[in-house]
Structure 1
Amino acid sequence: MLSAIPWSEVAVLIGALLAGGVASGILAGLLGVGGGGIIVPVLYEVFRIIGVSDDVRMQLCIGTSLAIIIPTSIRSFQAHKARGLVVPGLMKALGVPAVLGVIAGSALAGVVPGAVLQGVFIVVAVILAAKSIAGRADWRLGDTLPGPAVLRICGFVIGMASSMIGIAGGGLATILLTLYGVPIHAAVATSAGIGIFIPIPGVIGYAVTGWPHLAELPPLSIGYVSVLGFLCMAPVSTLVAPLGARLAHALPRRALEVGFGLFLLAVAARFLAAILWG
């Protein structure tokens, strides 16, 4: 355990976690993501303040983020499903192989430096942002969805990448579906469902791989999963996720795409700054 926790800052810490929970819940419903894109940066700052080592900080952020977005992803999907925009069959086609990808990604993330995980986060975020902001209708891989074999490969890659950067995979799935001509609102709704498959095995993987490092982690940590972070952020983000879903269906398609892209660029910039200047 860490020897010196600045308990005078606990109120600020909890306040930041609660605010992050609100933001992540709204984003989960609005963009079909689990909210990990906002949770990971918030947790990164919180764990920096309380003195978590750079060697394990990013892993702790990702493991905790995956735990938080489990109930948020479920709540977000329920809100989207009620509007009837989920593409039939895609959840199973992408979700099952995504679980295998999560297992591989979380095992790999447990042994690579935090800076590598930050770099993966930046690359994925910039690619997704470029696609969303450009809004080019001719940026297509095809006019119809690919066959089962290709979808399974895509699901595995989505799961592996998601588990390495602490997201539910909704952003990756959204971009994949739009590249094959699925309308943005339907892509967001379906991606929210795919995101349910990813966090649970990811949490288990991070808890196991982080167990040998408990001496470097804050109190109330189960491997690379912070129980305090989960308890502060998960209930709030789950509660507000339906608000984001309602907002998503009220916005024009283009506004939703641009907002998604700008959000991803902001997150990528923060992690780039962390790599360059600490």
Structure 2
Amino acid sequence: MTAPTVTEPRTVTLTRQKVPWADIVFKLMLRLCLLIAVAFLATLLIYVVYKGWSRLDPRLWDNFPSIRRPERAGARSALYGTLWVISLTAVFCLPVGILAAVYLEEYANPARWYNRMIELNIANLAAIPSIVYGILGLGVIARGFGFGTTILTASITLSLLVLPIVIIASREAIRAVPLSIRQASYGLGATKWQTTWRQILPAAIPGMATGSILALSRAAGEAAPLLLLGGLTYVAFLPDGILSEYTVLPIQIYGWISQSREAFHDLSAAAIVLLLLVIIAMNSIAIYVRNRAQKRW
């Protein structure tokens, strides 16, 4: 009998792979672009807060505007008008946008020509400038339907403006729901409506909330379409309904910044900070809803 041969273990040497110089340069460029963007944003925020710090007091949200005494002027009517317009915009655009997204993702046949036409138009409408929506609102909603220059007209126009964003964001949120959720629901005997209502929509709430708040934040900062729709720069009363005249913070800021006196410029900077706080509050609500409804798959 021959003795078995013992083979010596082989030593494996790990060689460190060299990173291509193009990847290093590209990563440095990305970091540089991020640094520039953050620096510009931080500079803008610091300047606005510094400029309007002297007027960040209760006078800003307690007093009505004044065209003669900037030290007593405030943005109370603009703040309430913004809340009215954004709230009504949410009531109009969110249900329509979410239901449209559900139809396009769950019920529409992508082979049909009219469904493809709808998807193409939604993608194109998301890129149209806001001033075009202002012209549409003035010609069709304000004059054609006879609603006039009211909160209702502004809300419908802004709803049309942000509706494509809501639809696209909601479709992405529905598409992100795992296919196994649908298959398990159908396997247990649920209908398509029950699967959509009880399984898909609850799982898509985090993405829908994020996209919806981003759309409403854009609507809150729009001034161009509302200028065409008769948003006034001087309103010394609070809105009493959806058919009332109004002003919003972007228009009030535009009116103050166009004044020649420096005190109005400080007041406009303080109003910008107030508008930012309103948008941050809206985003905080979206983050809270997203965290409460978020699920790990």
Q: What TM-score do you get using the length of structure 1 for normalisation?
A: 0.31
The higher radius of gyration belongs to 2
Greater RCO, CA 8 A, separation 6+: 1
TM-score, normalization: structure 2? 0.30
| Between structures 1 and 2, the one with greater helix share | 1
